[in-house]
Amino acid sequence: MSDVYIVGVDIGGTFTDCVAVSGEGTMTLGKAPSTPHNFALGVLDAVRDAARHLGMADERGLLGATRLFYHACTIGDNTLITRSGARTGLIATAGFGDTILMMRGGVVAGLPESEAHHMAALTKPEPFVSKRLIAEVNERIDFEGDVLVNLDDAEAERAIRKLVDNGVESVAVSLLWSIANDRHERMIGELLRRRYPDLFVTLSSEAASFQGEYERTATTVFNAYIGPRIGSYLNDLRAILRDRGLRREPLIMQAYSGVMGVDDSVRKAVGTIESGPAAGVAACHFMGRLCGIDNIVAADMGGTTFKVGIIRDAAMERDYQPTFLRYRLLSPKIWVESIGAGGGSIAWIEDGTGLLKVGPGGAGANPGPVCYNRGGTEPTVTDASLILGYLNPEYFLGGQIALDVEAARRAVEERVAEPLGMSVTEAASAIHRIVNAQMSDLIRNATVQRGHDPRNDTMFAFGGACPVHAGRFAAELGIEQVVIPVTASVHGAVGLVSSDVVYEEGVSDRSLVPAPAGRVNASFAPILSKVRRSLEDAGFGGEDITLARSVDMRYRYQVHEINVPIPPGEAALTEEDLEAVYARFDRLYEAAYGKGSAYRAAGREIVTLRVTGSGALPKPALRPLEGGGEVSAARKGTRPVYFEEFGDFVPTVLYDVAGMRPGMVIAEPGIIETPITTVLINPGDRAVMDGIGNIRIAVGSRATLSRRRNDGTRR
């Protein structure tokens, strides 16, 4: 069979998703529980499920016909969260070994505001490198790259021996001002690789060539800590996929929204952290272009977490100094904020206050919600959804998992309803209202508190659980349109198959504005060359390569930096081009921090220069669906469903997505059931299927909903 499929597989906390797109644009979905003990098994299970839907006997048929295979994994995230990474050592400049332990002095980074206010109770996070695994070497390079104290080979060997004798599996090397001259780091790296080839080695000048001693060291340590685990997993997966018939190199998703080969992904392992959420936002970007929608709130609710990303003017918002586990890193990523609010989030009563809480703890993939009948005992959001009639107990995941309604009712009754003096229905509704409020608060933080008005945006709601909740928290935020993508519960996998091979490089180079054009061009030249060379080594050339430059700027004496894009290309920048960049910075600053916030009198400065290079890969061309017919043809019965407006269960029409066609409208409360998710249409909302199978919901006004609640109107 010829290579006709593009396949993407995304590992989530609860499920592993697969999407296979044929050359004709037909999309086939697969889904399987994640397998934390060996994630590769879940990958194969998801591919096998997609192959089964294509009428193939097993995954070999699909992998043998695959032209491109994309993958997003959570290995790096899980390794850091569970602190199960390699035993890592650090080599630093003498006198600066404690940088990673001291952090930035303040310890509030990465903490919610409620905790950050209690300074006396704060402690720093446990370091990923213990003090006894830090070795120092006498050397010194200044900020201009001049060598003040030469590195002695014998001293470097003593530092290495100290770490090896303490059993390190990986070594991070972060020397002062190596971003200006990496000579000493390269010397240590060569010694390590020559004497101890089995050790994983990360140099800060390769992992994070940006200014910021602590942040650069933290990024280097993170890369060294997770690199061996990432390498072991990806190399094993590559071998397993090859054995099952895949003839191409797997392409691994990066958190900045691009893919790279296995070897490059292992070398820069830190780039895979939170790459799964980035894939979901990338899918919204892709689908938004197909639908002609430029401003998007990307809302992803799976089994474990709820995540939000922002697409503004058809561009995904990025974070160039993300915080992970309270460590600030210099590893660019798509901006995504998350909380522990998913279908598997546990409902519990707080000791002392007696208040009902939901999350952040979750039931995970195993045992999962109580209704899964896999040993779970704590009531979850999914259990509440089942009790309220939102989920079909016989058609969850297309019937792959039978849900136990009575088990869910008993858990909610014993753990929530009885202690609070509520009925089971009231308790389940309360669970829903709380988790919806948590999600709307996160979106408000991601938009309003960052200077954006979400009321003019479209919400893309995806993840297996989000289409049940999206109409509610969209109404709370004043968002008038919600799009449930045709690929809602495997949306991250769609982001994979719509990605390009991307390399990002940058350099810290502080210049006061107006900066000499010659200096800016000279600073850009080597990183443009490096990125182009990486893409050419990956097999790209000619029009398949796109290079885009940008600069991080700030007002002098301030800490807030704004990334300012420069039109794509490699042409030398003129003084006029740079003047346009400076003016764009002023506009972007005021857009982020409010009109009048720009402090031009302080002067401006360029802090960092960046280059993003893309190698274009084939994109899936989704085949338009044929329209026509009455929506009644999609009806599959009714079910009692609880709605807040009525304070009771009401008979609600169920629709089978397989029977729906573009143009069909649902103008009353209803439920659309698909093999991968459930779409809840609330009173006052109106749903229509578009030309490629997305469900677009026009969210009813809050005034209309209030009137119905007061007068008891039912449809």
Distance (Å, rounded) from C-alpha 272 to C-alpha 616?
Answer: 20
Is residue 283 included in any domain, yes or no?
no
pLDDT at 714 over 70: no
pTM exceeds 0.85 for this model: yes
Is residue 282 included in any domain, yes or no?
no
95 and 218 co-located in one domain: yes
Confidence (pLDDT) at 129: 96
CATH number at residue 586: 3.30.1490
484 and 343 co-located in one domain: yes
pLDDT in tens, 655-693: 999 999 999 999 989 999 998 789 999 999 999 999 999
Is residue 267 included in any domain, yes or no?
yes
Confidence of residue 3 (pLDDT cuts 50, 70, 90): low
Q: Which of 180, 211, 231 is the last residue of a domain?
A: 231
304 and 199 co-located in one domain: no
Confidence (pLDDT) at 1: 45
89 and 166 co-located in one domain: yes
Is residue 288 included in any domain, yes or no?
no
Is residue 472 packed enough to be buried (19+ CB in 10 Å), middle (13-18) or exposed (0-12)? buried
Pairing of strands 318-319, 333-334: antiparallel
Looking at per-residue pLDDT, the higher value among 426 and 74 belongs to: 426
Is residue 281 included in any domain, yes or no?
no
Portion of the chain with pLDDT greater than 90, in percent:
69
Q: Which residues have CB under 8 Å from 430's CB, separation 6+? A: 356, 416, 420, 422
Mean predicted confidence (pLDDT) in 218-233: 96
pLDDT in tens, 10-56: 987 778 889 998 888 788 889 888 888 889 999 999 999 999 999 99
Confidence of residue 106 (pLDDT cuts 50, 70, 90): low
88 and 207 co-located in one domain: yes
Q: Which of 205, 231, 257 is the last residue of a domain?
A: 231
Confidence (pLDDT) at 423: 97
pLDDT in tens, 172-208: 999 999 999 999 999 999 999 999 999 999 999 999 9
Is residue 696 included in any domain, yes or no?
yes
Confidence of residue 113 (pLDDT cuts 50, 70, 90): low
316 and 419 co-located in one domain: no
Q: What's the number of domains the chain is made of?
A: 5
Pairing of strands 545-555, 604-615: antiparallel
Nearest Cα to Cα of residue 217 among 328, 100, 101, 135: 100
pLDDT at 83 over 70: yes
Is residue 284 included in any domain, yes or no?
no
Confidence (pLDDT) at 302: 83
pLDDT at 577 over 80: yes
Nearest Cα to Cα of residue 556 among 613, 603, 509: 603
Query: Is the bond preceding 197 in cis, omega lying within 30 degrees of 0?
Result: no
Confidence (pLDDT) at 584: 94
Number of H helices, E strands in the chain: 20, 35
Mean predicted confidence (pLDDT) in 499-521: 92
pLDDT at 635 over 60: yes
190 and 107 co-located in one domain: yes
Instruction: Measure the CA angle with vertex 221, ends 216 and 225; round to 5°.
Output: 150
Range of the domain at 595: 501-615
Distance (Å, rounded) from C-alpha 42 to C-alpha 65?
Answer: 20
Confidence (pLDDT) at 625: 85
354 and 458 co-located in one domain: yes
Distance (Å, rounded) from C-alpha 432 to C-alpha 381?
Answer: 7
344 and 424 co-located in one domain: no
116 and 262 co-located in one domain: no
38 and 54 co-located in one domain: yes
Q: Which of 231, 253, 283 is the last residue of a domain?
A: 231
607 and 630 co-located in one domain: no
Is residue 278 included in any domain, yes or no?
no
CATH number at residue 268: 3.30.420.40
Looking at per-residue pLDDT, the higher value among 407 and 325 belongs to: 407
Confidence (pLDDT) at 597: 84
pLDDT in tens, 580-634: 999 999 998 888 787 888 888 889 999 999 999 999 988 877 788 888 889 999 9
Pairing of strands 481-484, 458-462: parallel
pLDDT in tens, 422-447: 999 999 999 999 999 999 999 998 98
Nearest Cα to Cα of residue 608 among 547, 552, 566, 530: 552
Mean predicted confidence (pLDDT) in 209-219: 92
Torsion of CA 147, 149, 154, 157, to 10 degrees: -70
- Average pLDDT for the chain: 90
Confidence (pLDDT) at 707: 41
